[in-house]
Structure 1
């Protein structure tokens, strides 16, 4: 279990400055809206212990200046980022949500939209406040609406899951954020510790389990939280203008392949540059998102946001040369839609022999996942740029490709199906696989002639 700290300690840990927002006014009966005997005394004791009047502290904060010093990656910093900060005080009735908590959260979100600020939530809560009954539970709807309005306004939301994060706080502020970070060892689950089945596996209710299941993006230790938040806020508030530039090809090959089979061999070569090399060359810093928020994660697809060399933010989704699993497609779709809401252009790197076709992939919804990514790219609000850096295997690769703005490297190919599979389907002998590769016209120059791609990196089109 991670160390529990107060709301004020958490604020001091991650911010450079903090100014509390005015507390909304309103009458509150001595024992609350349900006249729950002893509730007023319990609130008074909680206030005495914590120094707070409610379970959440809201204000505006600056991030970034102290996190990086005077420069970022050898460059002048882009400046501090101001955000609305929400910090839960678990010592106040278990960080539970009641009507007054909802008042404060609504006011904080309204301030964020009015002043065009991102929202950071430092969550530590046991759920809804029983002493206020259903009136407390309905605060989740109130919070969800504020989050949705803020999302529609194109403002980023980042959550940090402290210990514990359970119940409605996890199911709204935590899991509903654009980016969800978690402290190692934190208890994170919808079900609190006192309401789980007696034979439940305790490991399933942890931050580590939520990251593994794709429900949270990353584990961040306490001493790395200030820098992580500063970086995420910097990336999500400084989008690049226009489409993402096409990366330059990194491989040794400079001329297009002579034959279709040579194109296949180049793309399958073990020493060919892969996604990590392209991302390292393209960005000075980057931060990853993980998971499809449906219980799955695919390490074969890298997704996140990065700072390009011009200092602006570009989102990326990059295949790593493995068969892409349903969770990978759903995570990429999540990335494209998030980037669209935030006004960030997208770079995709295509490199897969195709979609995973095992039984588990079918059970996990391979077809719907691919369809969802096709839809996300087709309806993208911001420009999408694609570079094929290796194998372009059928629809499993095409789902990640931008219509009208796809490029290819000299050591890549794109095909309706792998030459070996094509020959088998056409009932051709194994000896005709190479000839089939030529017939499919899968070389980069073939793709250019056919109008499938715009150009061969590092070359540019003539018009």
Structure 2
């Protein structure tokens, strides 16, 4: 059963009528093909109009849609012979961060990502994509391994942020995130990151300090969640919509600010309506961005990456 967001209620009613008419036909009733066709055209126009003018808060809802393809969906569709690697070699394995080796369009790569899970059981197992220190230390270990063997790094980010629990702080959450960012910046191989859903704070940057940062059209990337921002500024999480406007967290905002490198178009109605098309579009864009980076030596890669992020700071000051 399709899950509709609050702003999609008119669309839900229309698609409900279409489904009801189709059941009438299936049950041997009158031929309603013409009416179904008319309503389907109306639904498509309504869908197009709705998604052409989404507010930042509505885009936040789309980015969090439960049916939106997750990190492992991208990995299984785009990476051949994926072999997962586990553990940080210091404390434990964190299922919120997944990683391993495989082949992307014939080329050996290292893959990293944050996995939210697709149902209750997997969401609990992956801690809703919120990594603990051992997750970021695993990411760092795999990036260093990639550098040792000359494997480009592809990352797929979808997290509300790093896990804020006391035990995570006690084990050095901030240091682990900082070291993971450092590993991204210091990688002697190409790094291409894609924000496929939520890109929350340092928990996202830890896997996205890359040569090329891509965002899906309806994904978000911000220093804090809209609810968190609203709670701090207005002491009222109900102001999340206002906070979302102020945070400039949409792919379109971040592209205008030159904080990301490209926006990947989603199928009409969002990636959750056609996961295969969305994943295919991401694969094509990743391949396009990766190809010119492969021709650069490690020194040039690191120097350009460093300059890229320094320039963001200069832009912000200006």
Q: TM-score range by the shorter chain?
A: 0.5 to 0.7
Deviations 1:46-90 (A, max 9, x none): xxxxxxxxxxxxxxxxxxxxxxxxxxxxxxxxxxxxxxxxxxxxx
Quote the Cα distance in structure 1 between the aligned partners of 2:179 and 2:66: 31
Question: Does the CA-based 8 Å contact 2:57-2:241 persist in structure 1?
Answer: yes
1:278 equivalenced with 2:54 (yes/no): no
Question: Does the CA-based 8 Å contact 1:404-1:453 persist in structure 2?
Answer: no
Q: CA 1:295 to 1:283, structure 2 compared with 1: closer, same or farther past 3 Å?
A: same
Question: Does the CA-based 8 Å contact 2:228-2:237 persist in structure 1?
Answer: no
1:171 corresponds in structure 2 to none
Q: CA 1:257 to 1:283, structure 2 compared with 1: closer, same or farther past 3 Å?
A: farther
Deviation, 1:268, is 1.1
Quote the Cα distance in structure 1 between the aligned partners of 2:90 and 2:80: 31
Secondary structure of the 1:348 match is strand
Counterparts of residues 10-409 of structure 1 (less than 5 Å): 258-309=54-105, 311-321=106-116, 322-409=129-216
Quote the Cα distance in structure 2 between the aligned partners of 1:407 and 1:257: 21
Q: CA 1:364 to 1:431, structure 2 compared with 1: closer, same or farther past 3 Å?
A: closer
Quote the Cα distance in structure 1 between the aligned partners of 2:53 and 2:165: 32
Q: CA 1:256 to 1:451, structure 2 compared with 1: closer, same or farther past 3 Å?
A: farther
Deviation, 1:256, is 7.1
Per the normalisation by structure 1, the TM-score is 0.43
Question: Does the CA-based 8 Å contact 1:274-1:389 persist in structure 2?
Answer: yes
Deviations 1:153-186 (A, max 9, x none): xxxxxxxxxxxxxxxxxxxxxxxxxxxxxxxxxx
Secondary structure of the 2:184 match is helix
Deviation, 1:428, is 4.8
Quote the Cα distance in structure 1 between the aligned partners of 2:237 and 2:208: 30
Quote the Cα distance in structure 2 between the aligned partners of 1:365 and 1:256: 43
Tell me which structure has the larger Cα radius of gyration: 1
Gap runs ≥5 in structure 2: 1-46, 117-128, 266-280, 289-318
Secondary structure of the 2:168 match is helix
Quote the Cα distance in structure 2 between the aligned partners of 1:307 and 1:403: 19
Question: Does the CA-based 8 Å contact 1:263-1:442 persist in structure 2?
Answer: no
Q: Which has the higher strand share?
A: 1
Q: CA 1:427 to 1:402, structure 2 compared with 1: closer, same or farther past 3 Å?
A: same
Quote the Cα distance in structure 2 between the aligned partners of 1:337 and 1:320: 21
Deviations 1:399-450 (A, max 9, x none): 1103441001123100110001101111253442101101111111111111
Quote the Cα distance in structure 2 between the aligned partners of 1:430 and 1:343: 46
Per the normalisation by structure 2, the TM-score is 0.62
1:445 equivalenced with 2:252 (yes/no): yes
Q: CA 1:404 to 1:259, structure 2 compared with 1: closer, same or farther past 3 Å?
A: farther
Quote the Cα distance in structure 1 between the aligned partners of 2:168 and 2:135: 11
Quote the Cα distance in structure 2 between the aligned partners of 1:398 and 1:349: 11
Quote the Cα distance in structure 2 between the aligned partners of 1:340 and 1:400: 15
When the two chains are superposed, the root-mean-square deviation of aligned CA atoms in Å is: 2.2
Quote the Cα distance in structure 2 between the aligned partners of 1:404 and 1:448: 15
Secondary structure of the 2:197 match is strand
Q: CA 1:334 to 1:360, structure 2 compared with 1: closer, same or farther past 3 Å?
A: same
Secondary structure of the 2:142 match is helix
Quote the Cα distance in structure 2 between the aligned partners of 1:404 and 1:426: 33
